[in-house]
Structure 1
Amino acid sequence: MKHMKARQVADTAITDGREPTGAELDAIEREMPLIAAEVELLDAQIGLLDRAATALDERRIRRARNRVLAARRDLTNRTAGVPGGPAVA
């Protein structure tokens, strides 16, 4: 039986595991608009689990999806030059 070890992410400093590093907190702060947009979309989708969607619900879902896409675009554009950000092709 082979034992598998988790690989450490190169961008993350190894700490005692109790608190996030400053770099991790900065990354979370940069991603907060995307996280908030994804939570809003998830909330709209959860509301439709037990009932049929109305026209208003469909509009809410569509707008939430558009906010997620806009937040992803903005995050990608902001972090393109940041070390550890997405690679620019």
Structure 2
Amino acid sequence: MRKHLILFGEPTPADLSAIEAEWPLIAAELAVLDAEITNIYAAEHGGPSPLDWRRLRRAEARVIRVAAELAARPASGREVA
């Protein structure tokens, strides 16, 4: 990661590459957020169903799995903070 803040301009190719590499984790975390929102909404309307809870558990498991896959990748191309 860069140590300074760029206020203007486009992301660099390295920035875009880093985002692309981490996109599976970002998508998995968004799925957890979506499942949590669904459960909150369901709580106001009779409570989450077993399927709602299963969806949340599966989304959380996916985050763990994807994070482990990213951590296992070789460090080449990654900057150390």
TM range (shorter): 0.7 to 0.9
Name structure 1 gaps, 5 residues minimum: 1-7
Deviations, residues 1-58 of structure 1 (Å, cap 9, x unaligned): xxxxxxx934x7x767220011110000000000010111100101111322211111
CA RMSD of aligned residues (A): 2.4
SS in 2 for 1:47: helix
Name structure 2 gaps, 5 residues minimum: none
User: Normalization by structure 1: what TM-score?
Assistant: 0.72
Structure with more relative contact order (C-alpha pairs < 8 Å, separation 6 or more): 2
Question: What percent identity do the matched residue pairs reach?
Answer: 40
User: What is the number of residues matched between the two proteins?
Assistant: 77
Distance 1:47 1:9 in 2: 36
Distance 1:73 1:47 in 2: 26
User: Normalization by structure 2: what TM-score?
Assistant: 0.79
Moved over 4 A (4+): none
